[in-house]
């Protein structure tokens, strides 16, 4: 009965395309809520399996009433993933920053899903493809629950950034330990909501002192673990604020991935003397990212870490060269 009704609705190419996009967008909202709010999972099931199913499902709906070109199926699948992503912002489920970062992988996987759906439907003789699509949809929550239950431990990643400073290590050191207020950022990344450092202070000196690096979202509390003046400063991260303020038309959007999914563990500054009274300043951060696939989200996290490092190191460079000249 339901298939006859769908056939009437999808009698035209436009009608079938609109149905595919709208139905898939609603499905995307539900699946995302199940993954993030019910299971607290931002993994393969959300970023790979879900867009594949959305592309597959929309392609199947578009082709219910008759054969469609592969290009049409891919277009409907792509539009469905994009509209579903925009709906997450419109319903205050996610912010724009995370959605934009996720789009390259979700669109690519959605295209694959739409292509597979079109291929299976074009070869299907018994009309079983809609049932296969529904089966995939029903399996997704099970996959999300299984992934959440396994709770894979993310690897420890490290990011290192360097800068050469025209000042000796003794001058650079005091600007590393406590950092004067930084100027407002010019980078679009930070202006859109990614948290960035504003200044750093320290209570005490030597191992056991506590450094506070203040970001726009709060403080990193950093107990000192290594203190070698003019050479090396290392610290653990006891607590940290959210990595961003999500960009959204709604106030106070706070999706679950802002709480503990990107976790800094420790950091280090190394000061290496160079000829001519210069210093090579090297900053390294170690962190874990609980969003999967790791290579994809690791690329984004590493890039943002480098931007944060560079903002601090260039400020230390400017301060130290000013002090050395004065």
Tens of pLDDT, residues 191-245: 999 999 999 999 999 999 999 999 999 999 999 999 999 999 999 999 999 999 9
What is the four-CA torsion angle of 12, 80, 131, 44, rounded to 10 degrees? 170
What pLDDT is recorded for position 4? 54
C-alpha–C-alpha distance, residues 64 and 132, integer Å: 13
Residue-by-residue DSSP string for 302-316 = HHHHHHHHHHHHHHH
pTM (whole model) above 0.85: yes
**What tokens were used for 1?**
């009965």
- For CATH 3.30.530.20, list the domain ranges present in the chain: 156-325
Q: Where are the beta strands (DSSP E) in the chain?
A: 156-165, 197-203, 210-215, 218-228, 232-236, 262-274, 278-289
Residue pLDDT, tens place only, 168-181: 999 999 999 999 99
In angstroms, the CA 56 to CA 78 distance is 10
CB neighbour list of residue 244: distance below 8 Å, 6 or more residues apart? 95, 97, 193, 194, 195, 217, 258
Instruction: Find residue 159's DSSP bridge partners.
Output: 285
**Strands across the sheet with 262-274, in order?**
156-165, 278-289, 262-274, 232-236, 218-228, 210-215, 197-203
CATH architecture entry for 156-325: 2-Layer Sandwich (3.30)
CA distance 167 to 172: 7
pLDDT for the residue numbered 296: 97
Question: CB count, 10 Å around CB of 146?
Answer: 12
Q: Give the residue from 273, 57, 42, 307 showing the smallest Cα distance to 164.
A: 273
Q: Tokens representing 6?
A: 């769908």
pLDDT, residue 66, reads 66
Regions of the chain where pLDDT drops below 70: 1-15, 65-66, 124-133
DSSP secondary structure letter of residue 62: H
Does residue 293 have a cis bond before it (omega within 30 degrees)? yes
């Amino acid at each position: 009965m339901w298939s006859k009704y769908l056939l009437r609705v999808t009698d035209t190419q436009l009608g079938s395309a609109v149905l595919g996009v709208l139905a898939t967008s609603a499905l995307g909202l539900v699946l995302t809520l199940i993954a993030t709010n019910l299971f607290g999972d931002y993994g393969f099931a959300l970023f790979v399996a879900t867009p594949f199913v959305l592309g597959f499902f929309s392609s199947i709906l578009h082709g219910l009433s008759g054969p469609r070109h592969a290009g049409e199926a891919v277009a409907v699948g792509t539009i469905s993933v994009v509209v579903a992503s925009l709906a997450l912002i419109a319903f205050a489920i996610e912010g724009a920053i995370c959605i934009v970062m996720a789009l390259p992988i979700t669109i690519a996987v959605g295209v694959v899903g739409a292509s597979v759906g079109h291929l299976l439907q074009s070869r299907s003789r018994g009309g079983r493809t809609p049932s296969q699509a529904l089966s995939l949809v029903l399996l997704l929550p099970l996959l999300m629950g299984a992934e959440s239950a396994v709770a894979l431990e993310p690897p420890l990643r490290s990011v290192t950034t360097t800068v050469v400073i025209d000042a000796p290590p003794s001058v650079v050191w005091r600007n590393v330990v406590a950092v004067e207020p930084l100027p407002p950022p010019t980078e679009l990344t930070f202006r859109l909501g990614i948290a960035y450092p504003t200044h750093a202070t320290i209570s005490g000196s030597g191992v056991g002192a506590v450094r506070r690096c203040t970001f726009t979202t709060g403080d990193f509390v950093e107990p000192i673990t290594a203190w070698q003046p003019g050479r090396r400063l290392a610290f653990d991260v006891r607590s940290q604020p959210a990595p961003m303020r999500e960009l959204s038309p709604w106030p106070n959007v706070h999706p679950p991935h802002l709480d503990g999914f990107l976790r800094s563990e420790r950091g280090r500054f190394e000061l290496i003397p160079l000829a001519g009274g210069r210093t090579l300043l090297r900053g390294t951060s170690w962190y874990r990212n609980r969003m999967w696939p790791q290579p994809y989200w690791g690329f984004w996290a590493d890039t943002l870490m480098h931007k944060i490092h560079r903002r601090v190191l260039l400020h230390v460079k400017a301060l130290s060269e000013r002090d050395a000249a004065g």
